[in-house]
Structure 1
Amino acid sequence: MNVPFFWVDVFATAPLAGNPLALVPDADALTTETMQAIAREFNQSETTFLVRPTLPGADHRLRSFTPGGFEVLGAGHNAMGAWLWLAASGRLDEDGGQYVQQIGEELLPVTATLDRAGRAVVTMQQSEPRFLTAVAGERRGALAAVLGLDATDLGDDRAAQVVSTGAEHLLVPARNPDAVDTAQPDTAGLREFLADVGAEGCYLYTTAVEPGSGIDAYARFFNPTVGIVEDPATGTAAGPLAALLVRDGLAREGAPITVEQGTALGRPSRIGLQVDDAVVTISGTGIIVGEGVLHL
């Protein structure tokens, strides 16, 4: 069996930036076990497979796996890259349009448009925000320790909290960008801490950014739960962060929100978001930088 695949740099405006995604279209002939094995072969944070929908009303169904075989059910760079490829490959209307994607058992709206440079821009709706476990008091020091930080490196004006717009991630406020960049997580310790608070990954962020920088928050993402040491652009974490910033009055409802991530990895990414009532949308563009064929 020959299996075509593509390489997409998501949340990027130039090659070799953003978050790389391996994409396998027309993957209906592949078993779940084969998909997981391919994800291990590519060894990227996520590999996405396009398959036929199983729910009425869906235009495309996406299945995404980490190298450890974990299926990702949120709509982040895994889904963004798939829709960017669909647009670039001529499988969507030339001038964009509105579509529905199936991820797991959920149907989520997607819009494709073109920017001034003629590049596809994809906007996806995430699941309704859920604000879950807060981490405060004595646990705050333990959290700082597993991140390789001092308690004074964490923001002291609000607690870390687990928030989900499709995937549960622990959002941890830091004092400034230097504190974010200084973090060196203890993988085993962080994995245990995340399991204890009911979270999958950890989004370390700060809103103490330079005025005029064009960003609202600066972040890094660690997910030892599924074997990701650090991810350069994480839509399933940026969405919850946008919802949290609006809830806490740190960003305006209905206004564009931009999160910068991946700078520490040399893959700078800017993730565009917006929160309207309980609706979180994420926007981005990207570039197809490679293609090939797996001979299985």
Structure 2
Amino acid sequence: MTSLTGLGYYQVDVFTHEALAGNGLSVFLPESPLPARAMQRLAVEMRQFESIFLTPAGPGRRFEARIFTMEEELDFAGHPMLGAAGLLHHLHAAGQASADWTLMLGTRAVALSTKRLEGTAATYDARMNQGKAALQPPLGRAESQAFLEALNLDASQLDIRFPLQVVSTGLPYLLVPAAGGLDRARVVHPAFEALLATVGAKFAYVFDVAAREGRTWDNAGLVEDIATGSAAGPVGAYLIQHGVAAAGELITLKQGRFVGRPSKIMVQADAAGDIMVSGGVVVLARGELI
């Protein structure tokens, strides 16, 4: 295995302005790209919902990024990108009030901006342009039933004003609009990932439309994500599409209450229809492999 001696990393908290809150993230800073197997094993070691690996990518504030859960590499994720941008501001623009960054995920360039909170040394707001959302046709009621059962829900927990629908800003989520019942929602289907694949979704996100609060899990149902930026963009687009929110409105989406880490994710569509997702970032700790 590639030697990892001296590899530096940071721990940051995302979607919060308070240390030891929000969604934790490990950010690794190798001098050159690591093999995928090494990154996967490091992600397992850190046991965060996701870890991100950054390497410089030419002149300017441009970095290559790769994101891993404990099970696999992802094409896109929200809280690692925002957390990485906040850390980059801390490391490379400490004397500036604001900064702009580009993170490359494969061939996709993601634009981010950061602002340092006044009076703080390690707390930032980060904002990401997720681009335009792709909305698939809504699921019918009969087709939706299998997914409700897979998430331990019944028709009484569904907000019948709105359909189940797959929406993506880089990672396709099956959005499940609930009217309460978040406390009982969980993954109970033994092959949930395969079931989601039948409608072109990677994960499911259950959210209370009125309360604007959501939950999601890994597809085995073993780990609940604290705050999910890659789902927040689709939720914002969904709310606008179905007339629950207005274009340009700043939407606050809550998540993490059920795992004791309440978090807030901000979502807004700009004038061009691009979905902006933002939240707080706290740089918590740094480490080095020996």
Name which of structure 1's ranges 37-46 and 106-115 shifts more when overlaid on structure 2: 106-115
Aligned to 1:64, the other structure's residue is in SS state strand
Residue aligning to 2:228: 234
User: Does residue 34 of structure 2 align to residue 30 of structure 1?
Assistant: yes
Structure 1 CA distance, aligned partners of 2:191 and 2:32?
Answer: 39
Among all aligned residue pairs of Structure 1 and Structure 2, give the percentage whose two residues are the same amino acid. Answer: 32
The residue aligned with 1:67 is 70
Structure 2 CA distance, aligned partners of 1:29 and 1:183?
39
CA positional deviation for 1:186: 0.8
Measure, in 2, the Cα distance between the counterparts of 1:158 and 1:23: 38
In the other structure, the counterpart of 1:259 is: 253
Q: Are 1:248 and 2:242 counterparts?
A: yes
The runs of 4+ residues in structure 1 deviating greater than 4 Å are none
TM-score (norm 1): 0.89
- Does the aligned pair in 2 maintain the 1:145–1:151 contact within 8 Å? no
Task: Provide the rounded CA distance (Å) in 2 between the counterparts of 1:251 and 1:289.
Answer: 34
Please say if 1:45 is aligned against 2:49: yes
Encode CA deviations 1:84-132: one digit per residue, 9 max, x unaligned: 1111223466121223221121112211123345432111101321012
Question: Paired residue for 1:220, among 215, 224, 235?
Answer: 215
Q: Secondary structure at the match of 2:16?
A: coil
Question: For each residue in 1:233-253, what CA deviation from the matched residue of structure 2 results, as whole angstroms up to 9, or x when unmatched?
Answer: 000000000011111111111
Structure 2 residue 6 is matched with structure 1 residue 2 = yes
- CA shift in 2, pair 1:282/1:59, >3 Å: same
Structure with the higher fraction of residues in strand conformation: 1
**Pairing of 1:1-296 with structure 2 (within 5 A):** 1-53=5-57, 59-68=62-71, 70-91=72-93, 94-118=96-120, 119-176=123-180, 179-209=181-211, 217-224=212-219, 229-276=223-270, 277-295=272-290
Instruction: Give the match's secondary structure for 2:92.
Output: coil
Conserved? CA contact 1:60–1:101, under 8 Å: yes
Measured in 2, the distance between the counterparts of 1:228 and 1:131 equals 28
Aligned length: 283
- Bigger shift: 102-111 or 21-30? 21-30
Structure 2 length normalisation: TM-score? 0.91
Quote the residue 1:214 is aligned against: none
Gaps of 5+ in 1: 210-216
CA distance in 2, matches of 1:248, 1:290: 42
Tell me how large the CA RMSD over aligned residues is. 2.0
Comparing 263-272 with 111-120, which one deviates more in the overlay? 111-120
Moved more, 12-21 or 129-138: 129-138
* 5+ long unaligned stretches in structure 2: none
Distance 2:31 2:158 in 1: 44
